[in-house]
Amino acid sequence: MDKDGFDFISNKKLRNNIINSIDFSSILWLLSEKIPEKNREESYRTIILYTASIIEALLLYYFSEKKLFLEEEKFTHIAQLGSQFQNNLGEVVVAIRKKDKRFDPSFYDCIKLLENTLGKSLYKSINKIRETRNTLHLLKTRGKIKEKDVKYANGTLLKLIQKIKTELEL
């Protein structure tokens, strides 16, 4: 896909960031063949991290373009009722409940809220990449990342780009 393939993204800064990130990932992919085998997995991890970030950015962009939001309940002025009203299930309270609209969903929230739009297959693929990304932290036990994982992530990214482009042109 060439740079004109991203003209559906009206936010120029985001469009350039996505293009630059894809360019960097592509260069890293090409260079990974020249990296010693023992270090190659780190290049794959970096590509997966970039790909997941690009996917998340595209989902957030779609979310904002379609003016979607999350409804979030907030409780204020919480007051505990007397001991005669308490039970073993938890604390019984009185509170004021307010519903707010939130326009900054998490990666997981975006995926979940757009499940029907994405379709079952793309939804599962994106969620798998999100889960993989969440295991790449340095403090966590890190699973093996293989060449096939990078190909899977890049294929999913391409499908998402095509899906969002089509959805936004409707």
Residue type, 163: K
What pLDDT shows up at residue 120? 96
With 60 as the cut, is the pLDDT of residue 45 above it?
yes
Label residue 3 by pLDDT band (50, 70, 90).
low
Whether residues 50 and 91 fall in one domain? no
What pLDDT shows up at residue 83? 78
Residue type, 48: I
**Which residues 6+ apart lie within 8 Å of 121 measured at CB?**
none
Whether residues 111 and 54 fall in one domain? yes
What pLDDT shows up at residue 90? 78
Whether residues 54 and 121 fall in one domain? yes
Specify which of 40-44, 80-84, 100-104 reaches the highest per-range mean pLDDT.
40-44
- 97-119 pLDDT per residue, tens: 888 877 678 899 999 989 999 99
R_g over Cα of the chain: 21
Note the pTM of the prediction, 2 decimals.
0.81
Query: Which residue, chain included where needed, has tokens 């391409």?
Result: 158
Whether residues 93 and 114 fall in one domain? no
Whether residues 22 and 54 fall in one domain? yes
**Is pLDDT larger for residue 104 or for residue 59?**
59
Query: Which residue, chain included where needed, has tokens 């595209």?
Result: 58
The structure tokens listed for 84 are 């005669």
Whether residues 54 and 131 fall in one domain? yes
- 117-167 pLDDT per residue, tens: 999 999 999 999 999 888 877 776 777 889 999 999 999 999 999 999 999
